[in-house]
Amino acid sequence: MPEAYATGWGGDPVVASPLMSAFTQPELEYLASQRIGRLATIGRDGAPHVMPVGFRYDQATDTIEIGGHGMGTSKKWRDMGWDSRVAFVVDDVVPPWGPRLVEVRGIATRETTGGSGLGRGFDEEFVRITPRRVVSYGLGPEGHDLRTFDARDVPV
């Protein structure tokens, strides 16, 4: 039976089955508690490009959705048209020194409609990241401890 793990941008509960989601319960809870992540794309010249972005987890597609103002004209949008491989990380540090993170490596799908529903004033264009590898750290009760490190490939 699915359990509520997190909330989306609108505060609506996100329900995911631990057997079907690419993410664990602690990862979903952590992602729901954060507002900004960093999206890394690969430019046409092969150079990396990283930008802070707003995001949300979409339970229906088990993807990370990224939208915003000017998305369809941005360098990251153009980069993802050239090479759909991306990396996305959400991280923070809790005192006194407790780093936490979720990294998602995956494939970006550029969507040309529906992005305005992600936030007020957002463009219609938005991106869905389908996870292929998920890495997390510091999300367990032990906090900053190697026992809280988890890295796994996501079956296609």
The two tokens of residue 102 are: 């979720």
Check pLDDT > 90 for residue 98: no
Check pLDDT > 80 for residue 142: no
Rg (CA), the chain: 15
Contact 91/100 with Cβ under 8 angstroms?
yes
* Averaged pLDDT, 106-126: 95
Homologous superfamily in CATH for domain 36-153: Electron Transport, Fmn-binding Protein; Chain A (2.30.110.10)
Q: CB neighbours of 109 closer than 8 A, spacing ≥ 6?
A: 84, 127, 128, 129, 130
DSSP-derived letter for residue 72 is G
- What's the whole-model pTM score? 0.85
What is the number of other CB atoms lying within 10 angstroms of the CB of residue 56? 22
Q: What is the mean pLDDT of the chain?
A: 87
pLDDT tens figures, 33-73: 999 999 999 999 999 999 999 999 999 999 999 999 999 99
Instruction: Please report where in the chains the tokens 């057997």 appear, as a residue.
Output: 19
